[in-house]
Amino acid sequence: MGTLGTASANPTRAFFVRMLTRDIALEDCILDLLDNSVDGAWSLEGGRPLTLGDTTNLSEYSIKIELTPEKFIIHDNCGGISLDDAAAYAFTFGRSEDADTDSFSIGIYGIGMKRAIFKLGRKINIRSTYKDASGNLQSFRVPIDVDTWVSGPNENNWDFDIEPDEPLAEPGVRIEI
């Protein structure tokens, strides 16, 4: 006997956001975002904590958090997200099967940033400034209106737009929620 068709098993974006954020505390969201910044600083210095030399100096890097009842901002000078990384994996939900999980600390599953920003708010603006292979500064932003994205017409397209942006003061990431 053959099949009669298929039964859709695709999740909705709304279900996914609810399930992704339901069991994470706000403190853990902030720790995930801090971890991403620290990973950026380590990477700029050539490795992970166990592979960095005893004289590695991370004092030039900073992570700033602003918090008001209306807004959460985390801003670092830890190198930024490259456009290639943003397009290929920084905004995907989960890591590919062949991802090098040894290069990550807490973020081995590839959901931390998305989980954190979805838990923290509904209007999100992620800005990045980074140095390209030639040493030139490049910048972009990823604006996310969660309510619009969740109710979007094409349930199979989970992509976020990447737009040109003015550079930050130095290479880093600024997330405003």
pLDDT for res 104: 47
Burial class (CB in 10 A: 0-12, 13-18, 19+), 44: middle
What is the bridge-based pairing of β-strands 172-176 and 72-76? antiparallel
pLDDT for res 73: 98
* 35-72 residue pLDDT tens: 899 889 988 888 766 666 677 788 999 999 999 999 99
pLDDT for res 72: 97
Instruction: Give the pTM.
Output: 0.85
CA dist., res. 82 & res. 90, Å (int): 9
Which residue type is seen at 50? L
- Strands (E) across the chain are located at 63-67, 72-76, 123-131, 137-145, 163-164, 172-176
Q: At the fourth CATH level, which superfamily is domain 13-46+62-176?
A: Histidine kinase-like ATPase, C-terminal domain (3.30.565.10)
C-alpha closest to that of 76 among 41, 119, 105: 41
CB 120 within 8 A of CB 26: yes
CA dist., res. 86 & res. 81, Å (int): 6
Per-residue pLDDT of the chain (177 residues; tens, 9 = 90+): 778 988 888 888 888 889 888 999 999 999 999 989 988 998 888 876 666 667 778 899 999 999 999 999 999 999 999 999 998 878 787 665 555 555 544 455 566 788 899 999 999 999 999 999 999 999 999 999 999 999 887 777 888 999 999 999 999 999 999
